[in-house]
Amino acid sequence: LPPVYWQTGHIDAIRIATISEKKSLTGDVIYPLVIDPKYTVDIDNLSDWAKYEAVIYSGLEVVSPGKARRTMPEIVKMIICDFDGVVTDNLVLTDENGKETVSASRSDSMHIKTLREKGVEVMILSSEPNPVVKARAKKMGVEAIHGVGMQDKGRVMREVLEQKKVRAEDVIYIGNDLNDLPCFEIAGWSVAVADAYPEVIRAADCVLTKPGGRGAVRELCEMVLKRIENRE
């Protein structure tokens, strides 16, 4: 049997003359543009909505209309990381005494150390008030500012860059949640972990293949190190 195609109705490009003169919406020649099945969305009811929302959450690479994705800065001076959902897997274990425990990837620390040796500063900027942020940052060998108000991350980031005399265009910010979006607007390159919220994925310049707490920071570090090696 010949191949069968589903007309999704995503995009129709029609010449003006075809409509105005031939009174047709198809014309004499039809050219099909084959779309990757993962991008074919047909929402007719609420169950369809839930289905395709789950596809977005799975890490599908999407962009915001009208927002061109930027490339990594030629010279990266600093990487700023969110904590929950980036350094950690966004889960928390709480014992009967209320003590919280988080999960992170040990492999991040080694690559961060290599980056620092190459002159790239790495720090954590988090809204999480729990002292576990400071403890993990110490193990990673990086500075941490935490307990920042949910609406204040952008302001604090600007203050940090001003104090350190680092240009925003030389900074990479990696996040996963809505309160990271103001920082995305400031940084020269915004990066989302694979399991970030859909709005964050759409706004990011780069979407990683690894989820938070499961190698995302290491993946970004490797990308930056490769850029440095190519420059050298």
The string of pLDDT tens digits covering residues 92-147 is 888 888 888 888 888 888 889 999 999 999 999 999 898 899 999 998 999 999 99
The string of pLDDT tens digits covering residues 166-206 is 999 999 999 999 999 999 999 999 999 999 998 899 899 99
DSSP the chain: ---------S-----HHHHHTT--SS-S--------GGG-----SHHHHHHHHHHHHTT-----TT-PPPPPPSS--EEEE-STTTTEEEEEEE-TT--EEEEE-THHHHHHHHHHHTT-EEEEE-S--STHHHHHHHHHT-EEE----TTTHHHHHHHHHHHHT--GGGEEEEE-SGGGHHHHHHSSEEEE-TT--HHHHHH-SEE-SSPTTTTHHHHHHHHHHHHHHHH-
Q: Is residue 69 part of a domain?
A: no
* pLDDT surpassing 90 at residue 23: no
Give the model's confidence band at 22: pLDDT under 50 very low, under 70 low, under 90 confident, else very high. confident
Q: Is residue 149 part of a domain?
A: yes
Q: Is residue 72 part of a domain?
A: no
Check the CA dihedral 84-85-87-88 and report its sign: positive
- Name the pTM for this structure: 0.73
Q: Is residue 167 part of a domain?
A: yes
What is the C-alpha separation between 217 and 87, in angstroms, rounded? 7
Q: Is residue 60 part of a domain?
A: no
Domain tally for the chain?
1
Q: Is residue 85 part of a domain?
A: yes
Single-letter code of the amino acid located at 49 = W
pLDDT at 110: 86
The string of pLDDT tens digits covering residues 134-150 is 999 998 999 999 999 87
What is the C-alpha separation between 120 and 30, in angstroms, rounded? 53
Name every residue whose Cβ is closer than 8 Å to that of residue 76 and which is 6 or more positions away in sequence: 120, 170, 171, 172, 189, 224, 227, 228
pLDDT at 137: 92
The string of pLDDT tens digits covering residues 39-59 is 777 788 888 888 877 776 666
Better-predicted residue by pLDDT, 32 or 111: 111
Structure tokens that stand for 139 in this block? 């193990």
CB 208 within 8 A of CB 216: yes
Structure tokens that stand for 64 in this block? 């915001």
CATH number for 200: 3.40.50.1000
pLDDT at 231: 82
pLDDT at 226: 94
Q: Is residue 215 part of a domain?
A: yes
CB 172 within 8 A of CB 183: no
pLDDT at 57: 64
Q: Which domain holds residue 85?
A: 78-231
Q: Is residue 107 part of a domain?
A: yes
pLDDT at 211: 92
